Amino acid sequence: MKILILDGSPAGDRIGEFSVAALQAHLAKRGSTSEVVALRDKKIGNCMGDFFCWFKSPGKCHVADDHQEISRKYLESDLVIFLSPITFGGYSPTLKRMVDHMIQNTLPFFATHSGEIHHLQRYERYPDVLTIGWQREPDEQSAAIFRHLAWRNSINFYAKVHACGVLCENQADRIMEAELHRLLDQIERHESEAAVTLPVINRSSEPPVALRRALLLVGSPRLEKSTSSSLGSYLFEQLNQHGVETETIFLYKAINTPERMEALRQAIQRADLVVLAFPLYVDTLPAPVISVLENVVTNGTEKSKPTRFAAIVNCGFPEASQNDSAVALCAEFSRAAGFEWMGGLSLGAGEGMVQARALREMGGRGASLRQALDGAAGELAQGKAVSDSALALLAKPLMPQWMYRLGGTIGWKMRARKFGTQKQLNAKPYEKAV
């Protein structure tokens, strides 16, 4: 059995080091070979969401850094073990940066699995997956979000067997070692985790206070030319109509220098409301966005009253429910930062329907989106959490699944034609490794 351990922990992380050593020892006793990749030491660029790995160089990101060799090893393996400190109920930015590149291992075309739309397999075989996270202190809500994300990832990774475990810093070494041993036993028995339910996360019930200043954080690498920017900008136009002073920061610009990060933190301190708009990347937030949120919590903000926080997430699947892990992670960030959670607006088929256009230019096709954001703007301006009716209206499917699948197939082939790769879309660049 060939096993790859992808270590997403920072240098000097005690539980990360302990887990790697204990896993390798257990695996050696079982007669398995294992290789550890410390992702913190690798050069792995951020996924830029350009989909070039689907239609420009099918099956392989056109940026040739260390992630390509790791992807080859991933597909060679029988089992891949993800290790990560739990960050707002999700992965560390270090691990997530590698996970974001895994879309290249699927095809752009769609299929229906268990009533949901997913991307088709590119390869005939994929490794089993064991996901292990750890917390500084026991936190059931954060652990449940982590388990849900790991389960959702296993579906999109086409892992036949998947298991997930959560460790805690206050546990004795023998207890952690026993848990790691149990998880390996579970994998050997080919017993997958059952579907995991997200915890119920309530929106703020604090007395409403009228909004004065709002900050929009756009978490898409496409900056202004993104669906995230389109959705967030429309919401903020409506807030402005309610007399709210607004400001916008593009996170992929902010991460370039310490000075811009400091300016972002100061903007958060000035704001009564912060709204994060971003695209779904492999079931949750893009790695750079997680990194920014981590920075905000680490450095903290000093204010006389809590900041209110909301999110807008859009995904490339028609079901808005596929954004649920990401919304939960945003709520968990809000809790960690001491913010008031105002709700997560969730849109399916964002890439296919909005395509970075201004919502005002979409005519009747964008009517329900505008109506939902109009309602949310009115509520937020009054200091209220986003209502169930606004959330449900934005999440309402914009077209039948069969129509979305057909449109996606035609659209990807048209984009591939520009690069002359329409006959190579099913390429398997790592097939020899498989």
Residue 8: the pLDDT is 98
pLDDT at 434 over 50: no
pTM above 0.85, yes or no: yes
Kindly state the average pLDDT of the residues 362-382: 95
Comparison of pLDDT for 413 and 400, the residue scoring more = 413
Kindly state the average pLDDT of the residues 194-212: 93
Mean pLDDT of the chain: 94
Task: Report how far residue 210's alpha carbon sits from residue 414's, in angstroms, rounded to the nearest whole number.
Answer: 48
Comparison of pLDDT for 405 and 85, the residue scoring more = 85
Residue 115: the pLDDT is 85
Query: 40-90, pLDDT tens digit by residue?
Result: 999 999 999 999 999 999 999 989 899 999 999 999 999 999 999 999 999
Residue 355: the pLDDT is 86
pLDDT at 399 over 90: no
Q: Residue 32 CA to chain centroid, in angstroms?
A: 32
Comparison of pLDDT for 152 and 304, the residue scoring more = 152
Pairing of strands 308-314, 33-38: unpaired
pLDDT at 433 over 50: no
Q: Tokens in use for 223?
A: 């900056």
Query: 208-242, pLDDT tens digit by residue?
Result: 999 999 999 999 999 999 999 999 999 999 999 99
- Residue 87: closest CA among 13, 154, 155: 13
Return the minimum-mean-pLDDT range out of 202-206, 321-325, 370-374: 202-206
Per the CB < 8 A criterion, the answer to whether 290 and 323 are in contact is no
SS3 for 227? Answer: helix
Q: Residue 352 CA to chain centroid, in angstroms?
A: 19
Residue 201: the pLDDT is 94
pLDDT band at 400 (very low <50, low <70, confident <90, very high): confident
Instruction: Quote the percentage of the chain above a pLDDT of 90.
Output: 86
SS3 for 81? Answer: strand
Domains of the chain: 2-188 (3.40.50.360), 213-395 (3.40.50.360)
Q: Residues 110, 6, 69, 279: what is their CA dihedral angle, to the nearest 10 degrees?
A: 40
Longest CA pairwise span in the chain (Å):
67
Per the CB < 8 A criterion, the answer to whether 74 and 429 are in contact is no
Kindly state the average pLDDT of the residues 259-280: 96
- DSSP designation for 387: P
Q: Tokens in use for 28?
A: 């050696």
Query: 291-344, pLDDT tens digit by residue?
Result: 999 999 998 766 667 899 999 999 999 999 999 999 999 999 999 999 999 999
Residue 263: the pLDDT is 95
